[in-house]
């Protein structure tokens, strides 16, 4: 029979494996800072490739990168899009600086960072000095609808580019619809369940051998 100490250690390892897998799927201090090192667009919990506005933003930011004027865009439609830093909700300029500095520190990103929130825009980085006055002249989006806010972010991206002397392609007439964020959440939960199941099987095998 297994000694009590070894049993307690085994149970603790099982609990830690479950907590880590669930935490990886559900907990995130600042989601955009995890996404933007690998993509130019953070569109809430929606894959930007599945959204008309998201695909336009991907095309615009790719065109900017080709002109050696990299710009990353975060579309923040609701407080939960900020993860654990919800205090920056409705503070787009404050969040633009925060996110831009995070991307520089953790991903060595030196380009421009643009934020779109329902109450306005924020910009940080090389194109910010000329970009901020241009964004201030734009009407505030005034909507939490992700698709519309994404389109407004596309317009803002082009305004920042124009203010800095380069032109991005016009928005396309793509009518594709976005994928529900619930599908992405469910996929993440499925991945967490697989990790937890694998940990349980490995642990059970270890217990049976002892």
Between CA 103 and CA 111 the distance in angstroms is 9
Q: Which of 121, 135, 124 is nearest to 92 (CA)?
A: 121
> What is the per-residue DSSP string for 126-147?
TTHHHHHHHHHTSPP-----HH
Tell me, what's the pLDDT at 4?
54
SS3 15: helix
* Per-residue pLDDT of the chain in tens (210 residues, 90 and over written 9): 445 555 455 445 544 444 443 344 344 589 999 999 999 999 998 999 999 999 999 999 999 999 999 999 999 999 999 999 999 999 999 999 999 999 999 999 999 999 999 999 999 999 999 999 999 999 999 999 999 999 999 999 999 999 999 999 999 766 544 444 444 444 444 444 444 444 444 445 554 555
Single pTM value for the model: 0.71
> What is the per-residue DSSP string for 183-195?
HHHHHHHHHHHHH
Q: Which of 41, 67, 71 is nearest to 167 (CA)?
A: 67
Tell me, what's the pLDDT at 209?
57
Cβ neighbours, 10 Å, residue 130: 14
Overall residue count recorded for the chain in this entry: 210
Q: Which of 159, 196, 174 is nearest to 16 (CA)?
A: 196
């Amino acid at each position: 029979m297994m000694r009590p100490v070894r049993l307690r250690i085994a149970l603790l390892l099982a609990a830690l494996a479950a907590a880590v897998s669930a935490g990886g799927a559900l907990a995130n201090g600042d989601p955009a800072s995890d996404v933007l090192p690998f993509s130019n667009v953070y569109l809430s919990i929606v894959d930007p490739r599945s959204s008309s506005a998201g695909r336009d933003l991907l095309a615009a930011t790719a065109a900017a990168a080709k002109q050696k004027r990299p710009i990353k865009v975060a579309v923040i439609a609701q407080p939960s899009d900020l993860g654990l830093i919800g205090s920056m909700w409705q503070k787009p300029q404050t969040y633009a600086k925060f996110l831009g500095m995070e991307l520089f520190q953790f991903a060595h990103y030196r380009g421009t960072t643009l934020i779109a929130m329902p109450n306005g825009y924020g910009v940080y980085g090389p194109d910010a000095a000329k970009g901020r006055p241009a964004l201030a002249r734009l009407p505030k989006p005034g909507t939490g609808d992700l698709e519309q806010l994404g389109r407004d972010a596309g317009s803002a991206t082009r305004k920042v580019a124009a203010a800095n002397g380069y032109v991005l392609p016009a928005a396309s007439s793509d009518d594709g619809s976005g994928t529900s964020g619930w599908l992405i959440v469910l996929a993440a939960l499925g991945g967490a369940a697989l990790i937890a199941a694998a940990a349980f099987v490995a642990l059970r095998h270890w217990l049976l051998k002892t």
